Amino acid sequence: MSILKNIVIDLKKELKLKKSIIPVSEYEKMSLFARNTISMSDSIKKNNFGIIAEFKRRSPSKNEINNKLSVHEVCRNYQIFGASGLSILTNLKYFGGSLEDLALARSACTLPILRKDFIIDEYQIYEAKAFGADTILLISSILTRDEIANLSKKAKELNLEVLLEVHNNEELKEGLVEHVDIIGVNNRNLKSFKTDIQISEKLFNQIPNKFLKISESGLNNDNSIKKLKKIGYQGFLIGEKFMVSSDPGKELKKTLENLTYEN
């Protein structure tokens, strides 16, 4: 069984327990639920290289990446050094993240924040809003077209943007629904966890221009990012490149300087 299937199986068990303990009505009472959300799309468009900088402790493919850094400090520095947005992993078992990380990130900055998780249920969208997210991630490979449509509609009702993640043309076609704002092409195969930026290169022209287009994963080489920018990608979700450093914010700063030089 693939890691992805295991994640979804575990998630369904976790959600069943959560729903029995905390009703959606409790999330609606939380202070962050009432805040005005910030547009990730607008923030990316304002910058030449719209980088969504990620806070990520570990992953199934790399195990521990960096378990020593403070969420608050890293996210504050991401804003200081030029990120267009943040991505916060909230899956505990496989990525070492939590909803508390999301709330801490929200307290650290005024950037738009993506809740990066395996969202399969409306309940998780209420969680995302209650803990300070502005955007949710929907992964086409684990959802049907109807599920993408229904979940993205619910996100819009809660004033959240939707980033749809795809890995191939079939997933892209399934996910082109009304309430999606951003298409993120993931260069990582979620079955083998290998990365290849040619996935982004091949899919770019298949994505309708009404969607904001970003590339995700495997963007450890600044020349690769420049190449994808020239193709037309407006944003880049980058985590490991920054998080392996003892100072992710300064690594972001260095990356942006390299990208801007002779752009």
Catalytic residues: 54, 56, 116, 165, 186, 216-217
Whether the Cβ atoms of residue 141 and residue 167 lie closer than 8 Å to each other? yes
CA 208/CA 166 separation, integer angstroms: 14
What are the phi and psi torsion angles at 238 (to 5°)?
Answer: -130, 125
- 3-state secondary structure at position 210: coil
CA 196/CA 89 separation, integer angstroms: 22
What are the phi and psi torsion angles at 116 (to 5°)?
Answer: -100, 110
Residues sharing a CB contact under 8 Å with residue 169, sequence separation 6 or more, in sequence order: 203, 206
Separation of CA 90 from chain center: 10
Helices (H), 115-204: 122-130, 145-157, 169-175, 198-203
Strands 50-55 and 135-139, by their bridges, are: unpaired
Whether the Cβ atoms of residue 96 and residue 12 lie closer than 8 Å to each other? no
